[in-house]
Amino acid sequence: MCTIQVPTKNSKPIWLSNPSYTHLLSKHPTLLSLLQNSNSNSHLKQIHAHILKSHDPNSLTALLEFSALSDPKRLDYAIRIFRSLNPPTIFAFNTLLRSLSASNHPHQSVHLFLEMLHCGIAPNKYTYPFVLKSFSAELALLPGKTIHGHAVKAGSASDPFVHSSLINIYSICGEIMDALKLFDRTPNRDVVCWSAMISGLVRQGRFREALGLFNEFQIAGLEPNESIMVSLLCTSAHLGALEQGKWVHMYIQRNGVHLSIKLGTALINMYCKCGVVEDALKLFGKMKRRNVLVWTALISGLAINGMGRRALDMYQEMLRAGIRPDSVTFVAVLTACSHGGLVEEARECFDAMRREHRLIPKVEHYGCMVDVLGRAGLLNEALDFIKSMPIEPDIVLWRALLNACSMHRNVEMGEFVGKFLIHQDPLYDGNYILLSNVYAQAKRWADAIVVRNIMKERGVKKCPGCSTIEFNGVVHEFFVGDKSDPQFKELRPMLDEMSRRLKSAGYVPTTSEVLLDIDEDEKQEVLCYHSEKLAIAFGLLNIDSIMPIRIVKNLRACVDCHSATKIISMVFDREIIVRDRSRFHHFKGGACSCQDFW
DNA sequence: CTAGGGTTAG
């Protein structure tokens, strides 16, 4: 006799919210009655025993499906049931492949797929999406291509699900051209096919192309689904294109789109990355469910907007709300500390991460700590910290130290770290620039020039400064010293006006970072044409005077642009918000939100 | 039984 414990009133039927389980259970009403209110493994075993006695293969498959999909921990159990099937059905194979594709070890799919072929069972249109999903997770391009070939031969490649899965794996593996080729050849593109392609472009950082494709999508008269909206928000966040991000938000509101947790996270992230923290907070307040990703997006958003203290408060609130922080949360929390100069708080968080939250710090967490210590000027301590690390420091971490050396004008350490980094990563321009800055700040011009020459000899090009500004829904781009730009003529009077007003406000250009072997006047001239200043001039000329001027640039803010922008915000009485490659600067009334600490 | 999407150090 098999005894099944009667479920109590309070036990939660957790899987009933998941459509696949309801589907499964509806096919097997007996199982439904037994499993509906039970979530314990002993029940599972009892039911298993019961089914074995009844010799009902259908029930056994149903139990396999239940074990494979209800909880990742039950996958082993599912495999044991699978092994008892002789021969396993295509459905059993698919179910296990489906479970593996969502598990932490998707690579096992390949063995199962081969076993399937070995058993003489032909994969069907359900098999391919699962296998491809597993391979995507592993970035396994070649196996993916093999599966592609299989699907073509089997006549399944034109199935819309298989087709989208193929577009997805090619773009995840960086083979955008192949993904586009498939996309172009799609006969009746459904929305998911578009969304696979758009998200593929976004994933590869090809934001302009993604926007272009979305434009085509709209022309085709289709309505975006949630995935496309998330991809668009991600694009807006990367480009700092607030207008476009707001458009998506308006679309959501106008069409009564359900604000899912993913969509909410994407919106919060977009507002933070566009420098509009208030709107991010407003949205956060409206969200009914908040998981660790939502909280982390907000904490990191506050951090990059110079609200380190507020970010830490948020983190405490998250703990009080019973949400467990993950490894990414700690990156955000430590970033908040580093941008806010909160050294002690950072140390506490770093310790709490291990002790209280049982998370092993990864290289990025050590990197954050080096950044915290380095920015605070504790360079020797930062170096000792690196020496005591139980894992190998990476290039990014060393670069944080070099950056700190440059900030705090420590030539000895800067020279050592800079040379080491150039040796490690000779093709990266940033290392040369930082080292030559370190020399220039110490007025060691000859050394600075040597570094620049080595860079030139090796054909390493300095990434040109570029600033963008959104106006009337169009993103305008300005490059450093780009006098050939037709807009430059129009900007000229405003640039002169800026110069005049800056001078009368007592502004003195900071030329220590200009390395060219030229005289002081020329250096000042070079600084005037930094892309950021061109964009500000454009903003002052075109953007409505009650609106803040929002600029996104590709490099870190240079010292001169930073001090000049502070004064411009005062003498022109304009709020100027600049996003540099790692954080925000909110300039207002002559001061910056970063408190000159970036 | 199937495809797509959210947070991450400088």
Using the CA of A304, which nucleotide's C1' is the nearest one?
Answer: B9
A541 CB less than 7 Å from any atom of strand B: no
Contact A142, A127 (CB under 8 A): no
In the structure, what pLDDT confidence band is assigned to residue A489 with cuts at 50, 70 and 90? confident
Whether the per-residue pLDDT at A288 is higher than 80: the answer is yes
Total-model pTM: 0.87
What is the nearest nucleotide to A299, using C1' and CA? B7
- A12-21, A292-301, A393-402: range with lowest mean pLDDT: A12-21
Q: Which residues pair with A319 in a beta bridge?
A: none
Inform me whether the pLDDT recorded for A4 exceeds 50: no
Chain position carrying tokens 């200043």: A533
Which among A372, A290, A272, A367 has a CA at the least distance from the CA of A327? A367
What's the pLDDT score for residue A75? 82
Q: What is the mean pLDDT of residues A107-125?
A: 93
| Coil vs helix vs strand at A335 | helix
Cis? peptide before A72, omega within 30° of 0? no
Q: What is the pLDDT of residues A342-387, one digit of tens each?
A: 999 999 999 999 999 999 999 999 999 999 999 999 999 999 999 9
Q: CA of A365 vs C1' of B8, distance in Å?
A: 10
Strand order in the sheet with A549-553: A474-479, A466-471, A549-553, A576-579, A584-588, A591-592
pLDDT of residue A2: 32
pLDDT averaged over every residue in chain A? 87
What is the per-residue pLDDT for A530?
85
CA of A136 to C1' of B7 (A): 21
Token digits for A49? 């025993």
* Residues A267-277 pLDDT 10s: 999 999 999 99
Residues 272-331 of A with CB under 7 A from strand B: 291-294, 296-297, 300, 326-329, 331
Torsion of CA A235, A237, A242, A243, to 10 degrees: 20
Tally Cβ neighbours within 10 Å of residue A108. 16
Per-residue pLDDT for A531 more than 50?
A: yes
CA of A95 to C1' of B1 (A): 6
Tens digit of each residue's pLDDT (9 = 90 or more) over A439-486: 988 889 899 999 999 999 999 888 888 999 988 878 888 888 777 777
Give the CA-to-C1' distance from A582 to B7 in angstroms.
Answer: 15
Nearest nucleotide to A404 (CA to C1') is B10
- Write the DSSP string, A155-168: T-TTSHHHHHHHHH
> A167-185, pLDDT tens digit by residue?
999 999 999 999 999 999 9
Strand B within 7 A of A403 CB: yes
d(CA A63, CA A70): 10
For chain A, give the longest Cα–Cα distance.
97
Cβ partners under 8 Å of residue A72, min gap 6? A99, A102, A103, A104
Structure confidence by residue, pLDDT tens digits, A380-432? 999 999 999 999 999 999 999 999 999 899 999 999 999 999 999 999 999 99
Could you give the C-alpha distances from A576 to A18, A230, A498, A590, A597, in angstroms and in order? Answer: 48, 28, 14, 10, 17
Task: Measure Cα distances from A41 to A173, A327, A397, A448 in Å.
Answer: 38, 30, 45, 68
User: The tokens of A256 are what?
Assistant: 């009564």
Amino acid A265 CA to nucleotide B7 C1' distance, rounded Å: 8
Total residues found in chain A within this entry: 598
Which range of A35-49, A63-77, A510-524 scores highest in mean pLDDT? It is A63-77
A596 touches strand B (CB under 7 A): no
Q: What is the pLDDT of residue A387?
A: 96
* Residues 112-141 of chain A sitting with CB below 7 angstroms of strand B: 124-126, 129-130, 133, 136
Residues of A from 365 to 384 whose C-beta is within 7 A of strand B: which are they? 366-368, 371
Statement: the CB of A575 is under 7 Å from strand B: no
Lowest mean pLDDT among A31-45, A250-264, A558-572: A31-45
CB A173 within 8 A of CB A185: no
User: Which candidate, A233, A333, A321, places its Cα nearest to that of A283?
Assistant: A233
Confidence (pLDDT) at A294: 97
CA closest to B10 C1', residue: A400
pLDDT above 50 (res A549): yes
Strand B within 7 A of A437 CB: no
What pLDDT score was predicted for residue A312? 97
Chain A span 214-243 residues with beta carbon within 7 Å of strand B = 225-228, 230-231, 234, 237
Q: Is there contact between A419 and strand B, defined as CB under 7 Å from any strand atom?
A: no
Q: Does nucleic acid strand B have an atom less than 7 angstroms from the CB of A168?
A: yes
Other C-beta atoms closer than 10 Å to the C-beta of A254 total 8
pLDDT at A381: 96
How big is the CA angle at A102 (ends A100 and A107), to the nearest 5 degrees? 45
Rounded average pLDDT over A569-575: 95
> Tell me, what's the pLDDT at A34?
58
Q: Nearest residue to B4 (CA, C1')?
A: A196
Q: Is a pLDDT exceeding 90 seen at residue A73?
A: no
- A53 to A60, A262, A526: CA distances (angstroms): 11, 45, 86
What would you report as the CA-atom Rg of chain A, rounded to the nearest whole angstrom?
A: 29
Which nt is closest to the CA of A90, judged by C1'? B1
Place of tokens 């459905």: A91
Alpha-carbon distances, residue A10 vs A41, A134, A343 (angstroms): 18, 37, 46
Mean pLDDT for A313-324 is: 96
Find the nucleotide nearest A367 (Cα to C1′).
B9
